[in-house]
Amino acid sequence: MSILVYTESENGKLKKAALEVVSYAKAVADQMGTSVTAVAVNADNAETLGNYGASKVLLVKDDSLKAFNAKKYAAIIENAAKNEAAKVVVVSSSANSKYLAPLLAVGLDAGYVANVVEAPSNVSPFTVKHSAFTNKAFANTEITTDVKIVGLSNNSFGLVESGGSAAVEDFSPSIPDSGVTVESVDKATDKVSIADAEIVVSGGRGLKGPENWGMIEELAEVLGAATACSKPVSDLGWRPHGEHVGQTGKPVASNLYIAIGISGAIQHLAGINASKVKVVINTDTEAPFFKAADYGVVGDAFEVVPKLIEKLKAFKAANA
Ligand SMILES: Cc1cc2nc3c(=O)[nH]c(=O)nc-3n(C[C@H](O)[C@H](O)[C@H](O)COP(=O)(O)OP(=O)(O)OC[C@H]3O[C@@H](n4cnc5c(N)ncnc54)[C@H](O)[C@@H]3O)c2cc1C
């Protein structure tokens, strides 16, 4: 009876969230006195998972699984969970995992809690803390089913290296035909994605136009951050829709969110509540974002941001 964890990868490379869910699963396994088995699909560096606490990796190599397919992936994880007699299955809270987890819950007759932010406060009864109401509140929920599925919120637990190693085994379960064929996946950019980013630099209508985004990109580059924006910015075509953050856009759970020229409307804040540290740069002292911010700079973005870039570059050069 091990803890089973599904690890996401892209183009053969495990995502950072994959290492985080394994770190989390290891903490749960230690609490329950058991071990961690990871499932990886087409990952070239599956043995890396040993360093984060997996003692076994079930590796599925199959070209037909290169594009994510929820039904097929859920069948693989269900099969692995049954083989391992897993009582706890851990997935991330990415869009893909939120899509496959309910299918998995049906297959395993399991209770599922998404957006979990901490290791269980108790494993008997199994109680997890998770965010609720678009991250405005937390709830402690007891999962009462025999098999439990935990969806870990990105960047909530962090990476914990254990220095261990994992036995990588080929795994070839029978995979059902899902009735859906993904013909191609076109990514808008090859930059850091908002969902995986530890730091996000986001711009709003206060930046006046797309021609002013150079400084946002420069700041993001210096910080190794992803770029994002408010809804009107993408509606106006200044930035791609994939960057729009909020209630109707993408959620962000970064360690640092820098909002520049964004008012802080409730629909925007709904997407960033899970971010740990929020920094706001705005000319208007009454901008609602200041109430949600940890640090606020009242000032003109066109003066503040270039100075910030200059200081950060100098700091990096001095500490290189
Ligand atoms: C159903 C619904 C869903 C929505 N979903 C979303 C969503 O998912 N995401 C989202 O973002 N919005 C969403 N909205 C829109 C939301 O209500 C706001 O209109 C939007 O967030 C405002 O964007 P903004 O802050 O960039 O622009 P504005 O409201 O125009 O604010 C611009 C800000 O920039 C500041 N500013 C101006 N010049 C400067 C300068 N030189 N330097 C620094 N600061 C400056 C201003 O003081 C102001 O605070 C939704 C609305 C509805 C009705």
Q: What is the pLDDT of residues 86-95, one digit of tens each?
A: 999 999 988 8
| 8 A C-beta contact, residue 37 and residue 55 | yes
Ligand 1 centroid distance, CA of 123 (Å)? 43
Strand order of the β-sheet with 199-203 is 226-229, 199-203, 256-260, 277-282, 295-298
Ligand 1 centroid distance, CA of 204 (Å)? 6
Q: What is the pLDDT of residues 128-186, one digit of tens each?
A: 999 988 777 899 999 999 999 999 998 889 999 999 999 999 999 999 888 888 888 77
**Greatest distance between any 2 Cα atoms in the chain:** 60
Distance CA 68, CA 197 (A): 20
Q: Which amino acid is at 169?
A: E
pLDDT value for 188: 62
Ligand 1 centroid distance, CA of 264 (Å)? 6
Q: Which residues line ligand 1 (CB under 6 A)?
A: 204-206, 230-233, 244, 246-249, 261-263, 265, 267-268, 271, 281-284, 287, 300-302
What is the DSSP track for 24-68?
HHHHHHHHHT--EEEEEES-TTGGGGGGGT-SEEEEE--GGGSS-
Give yes or no for a cis peptide into 306 (omega within 30° of 0): no
SS3 254: coil
In the predicted model, residues of the chain with pLDDT beneath 50 are: none
pLDDT value for 263: 98
Residue 227: DSSP 8-state: E
pTM for the whole thing?
0.78
According to DSSP H, which parts of 110-230 are helical? Answer: 214-223
